[in-house]
Amino acid sequence: MKGAELTISNEMLERIRSDFPILDKTINGHQLAYLDNAATAQKPRFVVDRIDKYYTEENANVHRGVHSLSQTATEAYEGARSRIASFLGASNPREIVFTRGTTEAINLVASSMGVSGIEKGDEIVVSEMEHHSNIVPWQLLCERTGATLRVVPVSDSGELEYDEYQARLNERTKLVALVHVSNSLGTINPVRHIISDAHSMGIPVLLDGAQAAPHMKVDVSNLDVDYYCVSSHKMFGPTGFGVLYGKEAILEALPPYQGGGDMIEEVDFAGTTFNELPHKFEAGTPHIEGAVGFAAAIDYLEGIGFDWISEQESDLLTYATGRLRDIEGLRIVGEARQKASVISFLLGNSHPYDVGTVLDKLGIAVRTGHHCTQPLMKRYDIPGTVRASLAFYNTRDEIDRLVDGLKKAAVLFS
Amino acid sequence: MTASGNIAERAAALVEEFSMFEDWMDRYQYLIDLGKELPEIDDEFRTDDYRIRGCQSQVWLQPIPERDVIHFKADSDAQITKGLIAVLLRVVNGQSAKDVASANLSFLDELELKEHLSPTRKNGLDSMLKQIRMYAAAITAKSIPTS
């Protein structure tokens, strides 16, 4: 029975891999083993075709035209918003603000909060495992307003020091801004507890969901999170597009972000009034193709189903972790109890750059460096790591190739 | 190891040495070994002031003042980068500043290591090359008598 299940699973995997044309590419004489999915995920033909169809059949500017094509484009664009809203579990599409990605979503909140609502002495809570994009916007906000950034430390195994998190919440805390899944460590943070502890003190919570949403079903209403940020390109959709989810009442109260066309109701030199949600945060002609492509990526993901995705990724993570641990001198950085399929490691004393270079020669794509989490690297006193980040289309065979490649690298750099 | 010959001759010698290896792993092994033979830089130069800003591997460049002649010591925390430094320095060290400022370093192509010199590789090597050329150009400019 077990054998039969495995066969079905392998057939499914083969079929899924054939949806991603780039996976057949040859790199340095080897078939590509793409293990850099946390940086960006590959795109299925379904998404590429949808974008192609948009430009060949539907392209016009949205929201403005009376002509039919503009109506078609607007329906595609706003239809994508509804699709994304229901996927994320938002109460309605007005809670879905389109951005360039997670980075801009966070910057939007930080920038608009800086206009009103933050003053000297206020505090914002982040953690040591944040991506720079969930640190620097808050540092800039603190510089502008005199507020203070409070940082939750991370344990040796790569988990949030939860007592320290609770200890940083107080009456001056204006926002908790934390990563849902760490891009460097793979740690899945206990977001339900994080949110309920913050809410018990009336503090709103923003989650950076860039690395969570590709791996698990996120339901913002169920989480009761106040802001949730995702990037399309990490979820098998186009680059340059992402979403800020915000509770409607909170977004209503938040001042606009950038000024320009589409975000206004009426412009007069005596004063301008702003468009309703979500358009007041979306100045200028938007990334229409991005919205349409992202909605297609969501259709694709839901077609596969998150049950299968998490089963497959969990199998790969367990297999890869076991095989990597068997390599002499290899040290995994980040061994939280709850992890997504991201494995950071160091091979003996070898520099990650050297290791990554050798793997590239073998057609294996990994990320090396600090992964835009320099404070975290300082915490562990390392220059960076080699990171293998797995998606549902990866295979055990690719992990075997990674292990063989690392053994070659170990010989070279001994 | 002190090399003799002008830039072109030394480059040709390196190309010949590397051509002995058919397998890329052997080529890399040789490169890494060349890096290990580099003379250590002096500790006071292992600072941010002498660090070339690359994204991933760090490179430190220590200029050794010699009239009209280029001489550097350098180091990196990555072994491949250090090997590439050794290759570069073997070609330029001891050459006249004028020759280095205008040197053709296309031999790196023939070593099949050119990929590492791309600015997008973020290993600091491309910046190091620029720094060496700037240094050479500055010495050359200084040594031109002004009327």
Q: How far does CA A139 lie from the centroid of its chain?
A: 21
- Would you call A351 and B77 a contact, using CB atoms and an 8 Å cutoff? yes
Domain span at residue B82 reads 7-142
Please identify which residue in the block is written with the tokens 């919440």: A169
Query: Residue B118 belongs to a domain with what CATH number?
Result: 3.90.1010.10
Does residue B2 form part of some domain? no
Distant-in-sequence, close-in-space partners of B28: CB < 8 Å, separation ≥ 6: A358, A361, A412, B80, B83
Yes or no: say if B42 and B73 are a contact pair by the CB < 8 Å rule.
Answer: yes
Active site residues of B: 55
> How many structural domains comprise chain B?
1
The alpha-carbon gap from A368 to the nearest alpha carbon of chain B, in Å, equals: 8
First-last CA distance in chain A: 45
- How does pLDDT run along chain A (414 residues), one tens digit per residue? 444 555 557 889 999 999 999 999 999 999 999 999 999 999 999 999 999 999 999 999 998 888 999 999 999 999 999 999 999 999 999 999 999 999 999 999 999 998 888 999 999 999 999 999 999 999 999 999 999 999 999 999 999 999 999 999 999 999 999 999 999 999 999 999 999 999 999 999 999 999 999 999 999 999 999 999 999 999 999 999 999 999 999 999 999 998 888 888 889 888 888 889 999 999 999 999 999 999 999 999 999 999 999 999 999 999 999 999 999 999 999 999 999 999 999 999 999 999 999 999 999 999 999 999 999 999 999 989 999 999 999 999 999 999 999 999 999 998
Domain ranges of chain A: 2-31+305-412, 48-303
Known active-site residue A372: yes
Chain A residues with CB under 8 Å of B28 CB are 358, 361, 412
Residue in B29, B78, B122 nearest the CB of A351: B78
Superfamily of domain A2-31+305-412: Aspartate Aminotransferase, domain 1 (3.90.1150.10)
Token readout for B83 is 């090997």
Yes or no: say if A234 and A41 are a contact pair by the CB < 8 Å rule.
Answer: yes
ipTM given for this complex: 0.86
Tell me the CATH number for domain A48-303: 3.40.640.10
Q: HSE-up of A42 (CA within 13 Å, CB side)?
A: 24
Does residue B147 form part of some domain? no
Q: What CA dihedral angle connects A377, A383, A386 and A387, to 10 degrees? A: 20
- Would you call A353 and B25 a contact, using CB atoms and an 8 Å cutoff? no
Distant-in-sequence, close-in-space partners of B124: CB < 8 Å, separation ≥ 6: B52, B53, B54, B55, B56, B57, B58, B59, B76, B81
DSSP string of A142-184, one letter each residue: HHHH--EEEEE-B-TTS-B-HHHHHHH--TTEEEEEEESB-TT
List residues of B whose CB lies inside 8 A of any A CB: 24-25, 28-29, 32, 55-58, 77-81, 116, 122-123
- Would you call A354 and B25 a contact, using CB atoms and an 8 Å cutoff? no
What's residue A163's pLDDT? 98
- The structure's pTM equals 0.93
Please identify which residue in the block is written with the tokens 């890329």: B24
Does residue B1 form part of some domain? no
Q: Which residue, among A351, A385, A386, would best test binding to B if mutated, counting the most B CBs under 10 Å from its CB?
A: A351
